[in-house]
Amino acid sequence: MKKSKLTIATIITFFLMIASNSVNAQLQQDSKYGFKINIPADWSKSSSMDGNDKVYDYYSADQNAAIQLRVFEAGGVVTTEMLAQIFEENMLSAGTQKLSLKNHPMNGIPCKQGVYLMDYSGVEVGLSAYYFSQNNKCYILTAIIPSSMIQQKGAEMKQILKSFMIDGFEAPANIVKEDKKPTGLSGLLGGTTNIQKSPANINSGKAKQFEMQGHYAFDFKLGKVLTFAASTGEGFAMFGGCDGLPELTGKFIITNQNSFKNTTSWNNAALSKAGRHERKRVPFNKVCICELRDGSYAKFMLISEKQDRYDSGCSRTITFQIEYPVSIY
């Protein structure tokens, strides 16, 4: 099927935008799976189980647009890269063209978005999939619309996407590999190794280690990993990407020391000038000093990394060492 550059550009632009138009909508929510979404009152609404996956289907009155939400318990952290790979391999029809796949936070929630073009019974259809991994659950939100109807249905579809919210953003617990293989996307994830381990809690006062991926933040006060959206600024956050040194943000400086024990003083003048939202490329095995909002200090250091690469991208897991609180010498 021949596709024009204008059509592809229009589809990508549509799915990357969030409109502010209002629609007559009804709130759909599920307290078990922790989400909310506003669906127009005249759309059909149904739900079903696909193995261990809960699937919610919403169709426009004329059946020319559809929203689907697939949710399942992950048992721990499953990366958005993993979700995208499994969805593309098992849910998309042969001949589907992938137009883009990139990190694209949606409504303040960390997310990876894929935009696809496919043929459905001779009709060119655009599909956008939003991959979320939060609260030990995986969410795949898809929007489907014929290319020819983007102008007609665009505002309504974008407003529905804008309304999607996930309850709370707490750090996920460690993933546990399942012995059995249930059906649905949750079953297809069994046996994968591209996982992130993050601590439920980290005790303060002594050096501790933990792992964290991009688009997450560590909070010294709470002693745990949070998403960007839930970050309080009492620590540091890490951006995504596998190229070059890891990129972090936070009110901290990088010292020339390579051990906490030997780091007994630091440049307070430089630290006071450091911006809390300043982005820095941080080398491994160099002690960093972080100043919290109450004037207390914390130490952290990047000590190792692991990268898992896929056709659709890569994930980077950094092992950090931290010490909080620390004394001023």
- The model's pLDDT over 176-208, given as tens digits with 9 standing for 90+, comes to 333 334 445 544 444 333 333 333 333 334 678
pLDDT of residue 306: 86
pLDDT of residue 201: 36
pLDDT of residue 228: 72
Instruction: Give CA–CA dist 321/211, Å, rounded.
Output: 9
Catalogue all structural domains in the chain, each as residue range(s) with its CATH number: 5-173+181-188 (3.40.1000.10), 208-323 (no CATH)
Instruction: Give CA–CA dist 93/207, Å, rounded.
Output: 50
Q: Following DSSP, what letter does each residue of 6-31 receive, concatenated? A: HHHHHHHHHHH--------EEEEEET
What tokens were used for 99? 């137009």
Closest CA to 88 of 100, 74, 77, 106: 100
- The model's pLDDT over 197-244, given as tens digits with 9 standing for 90+, comes to 333 333 334 678 888 888 889 999 998 888 776 778 899 999 888 888
Name the DSSP class of 200: S
129, 106 Cβ separation under 8 angstroms: no
Mean pLDDT calculated for residue range 8-31:
59
User: Over the chain, what is the mean pLDDT?
Assistant: 79
Angstrom CA distances, 284 to 104, 192, 197, stand at: 28, 27, 19
**Residue 21 CB neighbour total at 10 angstroms:** 10
**Does residue 325 have a cis peptide bond before it, meaning omega lies within 30 degrees of 0?**
yes
- The model's pLDDT over 30-54, given as tens digits with 9 standing for 90+, comes to 989 999 999 999 999 999 998 889 9
Instruction: Give CA–CA dist 260/242, Å, rounded.
Output: 26
33, 71 Cβ separation under 8 angstroms: yes
- The model's pLDDT over 92-114, given as tens digits with 9 standing for 90+, comes to 888 899 988 888 887 778 889 99
pLDDT of residue 292: 93
pTM, to two decimals: 0.50
pLDDT of residue 323: 93
Backbone angles phi, psi at 6, to 5 degrees: -65, -45
Mean pLDDT calculated for residue range 285-298:
93
